[in-house]
Structure 1
Amino acid sequence: MLTLDVKEAINSAFKKAFSYQPESLELVNPEPQFGDFALACHPFAKNLKLSPQEIASRLAANLISKSIVKTEAVAGYLNITIEAGRLGQEVLSEVIDKDKHFGVAKSKKEKILLEYSSPNTNKPLHLGHIRNNVLGMALARLLEARGAEVVKTQIINDRGIHIMKSLVAYQKLGNNETPESTGEKGDHFVGRFYVLFNEETMIDDAKEALCKWEAGDKDIKALWQTMNCWVYDGFKETYKSLGSKFDKDYYENATYLLGKKIISAGLKKGVFYKEADNSIWVDLTDIGLDKKVLQRSDGTSVYITQDLGLAVSRQKEWKFSRAIYVVGHEQEYHFRVLFAILKRLGYKWAEKLHHLSYGLVFLPEGKMKSREGKVVDADDVIAEVKNLALAEVKKRFPELPNIEAHERSKAIGLGALKFFLLRVTPTQAIHFNPKEAIAFEGSTGPYVQYAHARIASILKEETPLPPKKIDFSKLASPEDKNILLKILSYPKVASQAANSYSPNLICDYLVSLSQAFNTFYHKHQVLRAPDEETKHARLLLIKAVQIVLRNGLGLLGIDAPERM
């Protein structure tokens, strides 16, 4: 690979000029006027006892490679320019050869458990769940592209007082209606009764229902199971729209007692302690956390007890090398405590647990709320972006058949939604704006999709010759080289995104590559190039761009349409 060849040449220059071998070399792509690659020599100044500029100058004088046509030392940087034909040949041949696998690097095999979504069964999925799901699935694809086996899971919160509120409201107000009889989606049907629940007049009934549920009351259990099934049917439809998939579902009703044995064992080991009222605690003040109750005085579990048990049981079941919890930032303290307790208990794998915290999604009125009915349901959001996309498609192509218009709007709308939620760092809060998301200009999904579709329309006119028949010296303009260097960096960006759990790096890259293509396309003719050799070189160049755009969008779970 070209980058490795350049690094080998630099290492040889270090050895020749200084009898020195650096531990690593970090090449960057500078502004076009400074060349194709640059090496900052500042990190080597201390060991070599020379100025960065002197180091760069000596390296430039000793750098020998058939691919390098120019070296220059500027402000402590070694700038390197590659022969245009070699750059194009190396980059484009690899992309065309690997195609869908370009950017995939099968590194060390490991098993990673990923938990995301984890909804409650008293209401539909909302906009926050969309961010969670989109982030979780993008992370799964990124890690799989690095060679990992990713086990995708969710813990469904199907018990507790909040679930009983929907149940009691249905008992009092439901009139034996069903989702089928009202024509509602199951999760929306149950969620309607959660909103109708009256705290003043129904709370005692909800508490009584919870006690009956825990005691195994047949009628309460039967209704609870029925209502949960209605919700699960609704969730399946939403998950299908988003492309969310799970290898295993865990249910709180089957896991909430898992941690009790762990608490008892920890008490015997002296990791935990018992208060006079028989409640069991852990003291984490020595690491900057608080004292935490793990079991109430009446012997009942708290939420973290379940998470302790679930973590231990899933490690036994899957034997994962690391686990990632995709959960909102309001649970950061909870996970710090959870991981600290597992470490205190002596589980070595607890060092490999990670909470991928993400920020809230805000509406014009502020933070989303669920009891007041102000929450934005996931299905409504999906429908809105599809409708906005449909209006845009019909405006651009009024004669398009209705079926095809809807197909395009689905790809564009969902792509816009996913890209909007992924384009910022996970920890950053998002102010959701559907019209901004669906825009065909700016840092948006449709902007990237449109670049892909534009290339597809050109390639339908003419197919490029295979790489072995291309005169790569024709790709020597600044715009050509800018695209080639961006393509060359894609595998590194994909690796960085996976290692840092940051799909936003892929979004940034795709926007940048789309911009580079648009700049190139506005300055250079492709089908009407000055000669056949140039035309086919440019056709192959944009074909490579198309492949990388498609692969990158695929990592985000976004379609790459050939028509917009």
Structure 2
Amino acid sequence: MDRDDLFGPLREAIEAGAAQALGSLYGLEGPFHYKFETPPDPAMGHLALACFPFAKAAKTGPPIIAQALAQALGSINGLAEARAVGPYLNFFLSPRYLADRLLTSALMPDFGNSSQGKGQRLLLEYSSPNTNKPLHLGHGRNNLLGMALANLSETQGFEVIKVNLVNDRGIHICKSMLAYQTFGQSETPESSGLKGDKLVGKYYVEYDKRSKLDPRLEDQAAQMLRDWEAEVPEVRSLWRTMNDWVLAGFQETYDRLGCQFDQLYFESETYQSGREIVLKAQAEGRVEVEDNGALSIDLTDIGLDKKILLRGDGTSMYITQDLGTTVKKYADFYFDHHFFVVGNEQDYHFKVLFEVLKRFGYDWAARLEHLSYGMITLPEGKMKSREGTVVDLDDLLDEMKALAQTEIESREIFGPKEQDLIGATAEWVGQGAVKYFILKSGAAREMQFNPKESLSFDGQTGPYLQYTHARISSLAKRAQEVELGSKEGYAWSGQETELLVQLGRFYELLQFCFSERNPAPLCTYLYELARNYNKYYYDQPVLKAEPNERRARLDLGLAVQAVLAKGLKILGIEPLKRM
């Protein structure tokens, strides 16, 4: 049993007591089906047991059963009251029990953690950019989901290995190379003043413009790809130079966002290994040979199509290199689970990939999971990188920082001698706005990012949560100047009890987010916790209360702050002490 599992032991105690009562009252023998629910209104209770499942066997109406069980189950440790409400038995938790369990443990860094993943290795692949352009807002959603899911997985006890598969080969890469070779005039990141990824992206856009006027560029790009595969020295040298520029630019953005990877894979290093896997499968009779010599696998029996795995000329398909990379990752890490964070336009691809691996005899294919997410747009419309209208992630972060700085300066938070703090705070507030707004939407949904709405200091936003955290920091600082008594014997109010219950739900909330592979419920939880605390803050004096009341109310605030901080860090958002 995990330390912070508050409701699990209570359910078990209720089940044991209910089984005994059902036996003594109605002569029933288990096993019984217990249906627990969370009442829609905390005033109705903190946990509810539906009595419908017992009615048929007991030959008694659920409301009568609920009343009988209420009398039998009122003395369970941790419960203040068991109350029959129609066909439900509603339980109210003891605030003193909650305070004793939570106010200290909530301050611990591992509060809410589970051991369900202990001893298991989870490989999580995210980002997966192409080295022909800078990271854009779509990559931003991928990176933020990947980071948050990695952090959530770690709270569940998994050993998490974060990997990034860099798409550094193919015709799209050669298009940037050809445009640079033809029109670049030896421009470099240093001479242009551009980040390396932005410089290369500039020539990807240039290729698109020029190729519309000169169709010969298409053939030239295709020839460059053939030269790359033939390892022509001049082509390979240019490719390495431009790739290095892009990777250096990516790293600046990753560092800014807080993205970390334990392993980088490059398609240029793995694409050929997939060919050997397909040829081995051919020798084992697992694939078919087409009239043109191509190798295919027929997946129509499960509603998929026939898939070409190798072209007739022996060259690889996109799925071929993914077969090779995935097999290599298993050989490198022997993972128990592997999550791929990739947009929903690749849903079909991953169904095929996983099925092919399964049919090729890799039993670990059952451990693979595609975590799909919807596309993201701005109010102006969808992003298109070839036309140069893509929403550059660096530019967006700069814009959000500037907007945040304007808001911070208008609030006069920092004094004349603290102006150096404004820029750093604006950076964290701007990032908090972006990260929370993107993550609060369910991953599967397409979404529209609204910069101004995300930056509001009120409502369901990242800055609102950061502000609440800062407010409690200010309270704690001011509390150092007043007398604090003991909270022993403090009578917790209903409002305070609800905050304690919310803290107690954090453990199961993290489990739920992991099981759903979705950080959005955590975003909602943190907003509701902050909103309820702010209402409490306005309703109940803290520092102007009696000394023993000050201690209890301050400790509650510090527990709320600690949970806010942990939740924000899971989302990749910096908790702030001043705002």
Report the CA distance between 1:136 and its aligned residue.
0.3
Contact 1:115–1:326 at 8 Å: present in 2 too?
yes
Identity rate, percent: 44
Contact 2:177–2:238 at 8 Å: present in 1 too?
yes
Q: Distance in 2 between matches of 1:307 and 1:87?
A: 50
SS at match of 1:114: strand
Contact 1:257–1:306 at 8 Å: present in 2 too?
yes
Aligned pairs for 1:236-275 within 5 A: 236-275=251-290
Q: Does 1:371 align with 2:371?
A: no
Match of 2:373 in 1: 358
Q: Of 84, 105, 120, which residue of structure 1 is paired with 2:114?
A: 105
SS at match of 2:441: coil
Match of 1:490 in 2: 506
Q: Distance in 1 between matches of 2:54 and 2:144?
A: 42
Match of 1:199 in 2: 211
Give 5+ residue unaligned stretches, structure 1.
Answer: none
Match of 2:537 in 1: 521
Q: Distance in 2 between matches of 1:177 and 1:461?
A: 56
Match of 2:52 in 1: 42
Aligned pairs for 1:183-222 within 5 A: 183-197=193-207, 198-200=210-212, 201=214, 202-222=217-237
Aligned-CA RMSD value: 2.0
Corresponding residue pairs, total: 560
SS at match of 1:100: coil
Report the CA distance between 1:276 and its aligned residue.
1.4
Contact 1:92–1:467 at 8 Å: present in 2 too?
no
Contact 1:27–1:39 at 8 Å: present in 2 too?
yes
Aligned pairs for 1:313-328 within 5 A: 313-328=328-343
Contact 2:469–2:564 at 8 Å: present in 1 too?
yes
Q: Does 1:174 align with 2:184?
A: yes
Q: Does 1:511 align with 2:522?
A: no
Contact 2:63–2:84 at 8 Å: present in 1 too?
yes
Change (3 A) 1:460 1:467: closer
Report the CA distance between 1:465 and its aligned residue.
12
Match of 2:76 in 1: 65
Match of 1:471 in 2: 488
SS at match of 1:106: coil
Match of 1:14 in 2: 18
Q: Distance in 2 between matches of 1:57 and 1:270?
A: 67
Report the CA distance between 1:474 and its aligned residue.
2.5
Matched letter for residue 307 of structure 1? D
* Larger mean Cα displacement after TM superposition, 57-66 or 139-148: 57-66
* Larger mean Cα displacement after TM superposition, 460-469 or 372-381: 460-469
TM-score, reference length from structure 2: 0.93
Contact 1:89–1:467 at 8 Å: present in 2 too?
no
Report the CA distance between 1:318 and its aligned residue.
0.5
Change (3 A) 1:550 1:26: same
Match of 2:320 in 1: 305
Match of 1:117 in 2: 127
Matched letter for residue 258 of structure 1? S
Q: Distance in 2 between matches of 1:31 and 1:467?
A: 34
Matched letter for residue 325 of structure 2? L
Matched letter for residue 282 of structure 1? I
Q: Distance in 2 between matches of 1:305 and 1:549?
A: 44
* Larger mean Cα displacement after TM superposition, 99-108 or 26-35: 26-35
Change (3 A) 1:330 1:207: same
Change (3 A) 1:358 1:405: same
Q: Distance in 2 between matches of 1:66 and 1:464?
A: 38
Q: Does 1:545 align with 2:545?
A: no
* Larger mean Cα displacement after TM superposition, 295-304 or 458-467: 458-467
Report the CA distance between 1:8 and its aligned residue.
4.2
Contact 1:111–1:148 at 8 Å: present in 2 too?
yes
SS at match of 2:577: coil
Report the CA distance between 1:91 and its aligned residue.
2.3
Q: Does 1:91 align with 2:107?
A: no
SS at match of 2:556: helix
Match of 2:455 in 1: 438
Change (3 A) 1:87 1:467: farther
Change (3 A) 1:306 1:50: farther
SS at match of 1:222: helix
Report the CA distance between 1:67 and its aligned residue.
4.0
Change (3 A) 1:205 1:554: same
Q: Distance in 1 between matches of 2:72 and 2:434?
A: 51
Q: Of 164, 182, 186, which residue of structure 2 is paired with 1:154?
A: 164
Change (3 A) 1:237 1:59: same
